[in-house]
Chain A
Amino acid sequence: MDECQSAIPAHDGDLHVVAAAHHIVKALGTTKNLSDDLRKILIDLDAHLSLITSNIDSKGGKGFVEVEERLKRVERKIVIWESDRIMIWDSGPKEASNYLEAVDEVQTLIDSLRGLSMNENQKQKELLHRASSLLQMAMSRLEEELIHMLVKHKQQSGPTCMPSPSSQRNVVYHESVVSLDNESAKEASSKNFCSDECGEYIVDLVPEHVILDIKSIAKVMFASDYGQEFCEAFIGVRKEALEQHFDILENGKLSIEDVLKMEWCSLSTEMNKWTWSMKIIFGVYLMSEKRLCDQVLGEFGSVNSFCFLEIAKTTILCLLNFGEAIAMGPQEPEKLLRLLDMYETLADLVIDIDALFSENGGSFVRLEFHKLLEGLADSVKAAFNAFRVAVSSNGSLYPFPGGGVHPLSKYVMNYISMFPEYCSTLNLLLEDQHSDVASLVSEPQCGPTASLSTSCAMACHLRSITSSLESNLHKKSKLYKDEALQHIFLMNNLHYMVQKVKGSELRPFFGDEWIRKHNAKFQQHEMNYERVTWSSVVSLLKDDNPGSSSLSKSAFKEKCKGFSVAFEEVYKNQTSWCIPDPQLREDLRISTSLKVVHAYRTFLGRNPAHVDDKCIKHTVEDVEKLLLDLFEGSPRSLRNSRRMMKT
């Protein structure tokens, strides 16, 4: 046993063994059924172990020499960087891993110093203190390195698929659009393009090799119970990075009050920006940020989702707030398309949101966005309803001059021609709206054929709206005193409606039968017009006595005059009338011409004797030409016409 005295443990590993052995011996010593031999051995062992440890004590911690040496060595490695202006991780991977190894060593030393049960030993306390101060220094340095790394490698520009929001077509659908022709109106209000192009798109927010470095720092910091500092730094820089990206998207920082007071043009722009930002932030940045957090913090449990939430919170609350403000607002008809965009975007993203915030801490995010989705659904329904009401209640005090296509018709038809783009959403949201319309919805709303059916919810509502429009137009037509003009007006407008349906994506929803029916309607008005205007005029030329050969001069004169007066009357009135559609105009002229010119020619032909009479104001050719002036929309008098014809 004398050998024991010289076998003073020189390494801390040995110290561990001594302590452990001592512990075991003491524990065994309490066993009841020990044989005497065993007991003797244990007592001996106990004595020797105590001797060893007291040796160390009395020799003033000589056993800690090795520990102290190691501490000194590692101190040098760490302290040397404190006076350096260069960042460790900028100096190369070898330096970095050396530093981390050094930190590891410090932690190991601390662990083993703590592991000893010799609490009264002064040297031990001193060494422990030195080591933990060193650790703090290293941790502080690692924090700096981390921040430096994160800041340096922040991805500045956005992912390549993103055109800026300003390049989007962003014309607001407005009353002024009614003056645009078909094509440009369609273009003006088209959905945000790139809507399906980007989808989910994960980018490297931080380069791959940097992530590994960050992870290595994380590991060390968490192992030393400095995980909180790591998270502080990490969240700080990542949060700022996300917010910088968000700033680029130029969402105006708006209070709810601001949004509720905003005028439509600006609001429409903001709604567009929101739709776009939602796609980019959730679909691209947050997906990518989540992946980054998973990579860096994946092994540290709930810290991962906590950090992600803290990084994302401010940005998503800003987006949420705007959405809520919109859902609160008065839902005017012109908002409908933008609301549909917002609704569809959020409906698409809600799955991603659920996935990103699947942990407990993020449940309020999921809840709030689901609530918002409902709110937007209600808003869409309200705006749609407001549109219906606007269509039917649009009143006029005065008849529309010229009897042409009423701005209301243009507004309504142009507007609804953009609805088919949102067909599936509208079908979903309008399904139970308005029982009188809903009852017409017979086909199922799901399945590939549903949206093409003329009896899907949207189609039923559209036909209901056009039906409203028709009734309204009928009311407006009654404002005209002239019955002929009433028919011209209705003919023009119904024709316009049919053309719009035929020439747009509305066609499958209205169906051929509707087109046929409405063709017949405007043709009916055409015929009514002719009857009302020309029947009486033409009847003046009628042959009272079909049997007799010709009229007397005075009778002829009378008839001639009567015809001229009537004709001129019509001319005076109806040149200021308008038939905007050239084809329709042509049809009506031809039809009129056939009737009137033919009757006149026949009349003159029946009375050849009087043909050269001065009482004949107009020749057949004159009448033909004059008829061409009708429905041009500019009032004329015959005198102008005559002068023109003479020259």
Chain B
Amino acid sequence: MDTQEQELEDIELFQKHVSDRFTELSSPPEDDALLSVSWLHRLLDVFLCCEAEFEAILIMDRDPSQLSKPPFDRLIPEFIERAVKALDICNAVANGVDSVRHCQKLSEIVISALDQNPLGDGHAKRAKKALLMLLSAMNLDDKEGTHVKATERSWSFGRRGVNKEQIAGHFRSLSWQVAKNWSSAKQIQSMIYNLVAPRGAEASGLPSPIYTMNVIMIFVMWAMVAAIPCQERNGLPTHFPVPKQLNWAHSLIGLQEKIADEWKKKEKKGMSGLLDELQKMEKLAQSLIDFTDSFHFPGDAEKVKEAAANVSELKEIFRRMDQGLTPLQMHIREVFHRIVRSRTEFLDVLEKGSAPAL
């Protein structure tokens, strides 16, 4: 088999793998709900696998000068540019995971407070305080300027003058910005910009996997931004210009549409991340706060029972976050480093390819 045929076969295999992996992601088992922490882990794994295969096809055993000729002299630099944008998103999301960890910490207080028998007024008050901070931390999201410094709420002007719960909640939200005026939504938008599926002869050659990898990278970044609160997600695009005829893309497009629907629904209500655990936590927090608001010792037995059930669920979410969030950050770092390395490899290839023959 000559190299041309081998290459076509490799490309086909690559597309098939992509399709398979995303199909798997589309039908997650019970524990692995869409956009849950463990699902995100799987998504990142899919990215790493696809990227490894992609690099192998493009770079291994290939004469670098091939990739310096049109259309690769445009396609590769474009890919590298998108990769750099992805890096900033990785950082924004990894930072966002920190704010989710904060929510996790607050929920721990709620659990400590409510996991008492018998439940007293003091416990309910303690829980309510933590719940208010939790809800405010979740919904603060990412607008610039909403981060209020503790010192601005002057403690010196007396104790009854301000709502202490509200102040405390602002403490640890999103103090690291990627950059001033940076927007994750705009970043995704600029990654999508100029993304054009290869046509005609190009569609069956190397430009095809390059396009595929671009789409995968954008999708992964987009999904993470949708799931995890990070800087300025307003206006996150909900549509990807990926042609539906592409075989490998079906599952990916399906996923994208599902997530986009969720996003549109939530956008109207005000955003926390679409992260499954976060969504569930928000619901539980809402009902628990209603409970603590209306609680008076010894409380309505039915309601107390219900609250206990909620706390149980909250414990489960806490457990999943506890197990999965820090590893998620590590996983994102892994993706980050892989993209950096990949970028370096491609830059090397371009340099070698354009060096004049000695």
Interface, chain A (partner B; CB < 8 A) = 84-85, 87, 125, 128-129, 132-137, 139-140, 144, 147-148, 151-152, 154, 225-226, 228-229, 232-233, 235-237, 239-240, 243, 253-258, 260, 310, 313-314, 317-318, 321, 324, 328, 364, 368, 371
Contacts and interface: CB of A to CB of B under 8 A. Distances in A.
B143 to A, nearest CB: 16
Contact of A255 (B109, B118, B158, B178): B178
Interface stretch (B29-37, B120-128, B201-209, B218-226): B120-128
Given A133-B297, A134-B122, A136-B123, 16 more contacts: A128-B120, A129-B120, A144-B159, A147-B155, A154-B151, A228-B108, A229-B109, A232-B168, A243-B175, A253-B180, A256-B87, A314-B176, A321-B91, A364-B329, A364-B330, A371-B337
Contact of A136 (B84, B98, B125): B125
Given A144-B159, A257-B88, A328-B343, A236 B95 contact: no
Contacts of A229: 109, 130
Most interface-central of B85, B122, B160 (chain A CB within 10 A)? B122
A236 B150 contact: yes
A137 B178 CA distance: 39
B340 A324 contact: yes
Contacts of A233: 168
B172 A137 contact: no
Interface of B: 84-85, 87-88, 91, 94-95, 98, 105-106, 108-109, 112, 118, 120-123, 125-126, 129-130, 133, 149-151, 155-156, 158-160, 164, 168, 171-172, 175-180, 182, 297, 329-330, 333, 337, 340, 343-344
A233 B170 CA distance: 11
A232 B106 CA distance: 8
5 contacts: A85-B158, A129-B121, A140-B125, A151-B155, A371-B337
B172 A136 contact: no
Contacts of A226: 126
A147 B123 CA distance: 21
A345 to B, nearest CB: 21
Nearest to A139: B126
Most interface-central of A152, A236, A310, A324 (chain B CB within 10 A)? A236
Contact of A133 (B84, B120, B160, B175): B120
B168 A148 contact: no
Q: Which 10 A-B pairs have the closest CB atoms?
A: A136-B122, A236-B171, A133-B122, A255-B179, A314-B176, A132-B122, A129-B120, A255-B88, A133-B121, A148-B155
B13 to A, nearest CB: 31
Contacts of A148: 155
Most interface-central of A129, A235, A254, A364 (chain B CB within 10 A)? A129
Given A140-B129, A253-B177, A255-B88, A328 B95 contact: no
Nearest to B172: A236
Given A228-B108, A229-B109, A253 B129 contact: no
Nearest to A147: B155
A328 B345 CA distance: 12
Contact of B122 (A135, A154, A310): A135
A87 to B, nearest CB: 8
A253 B175 contact: no
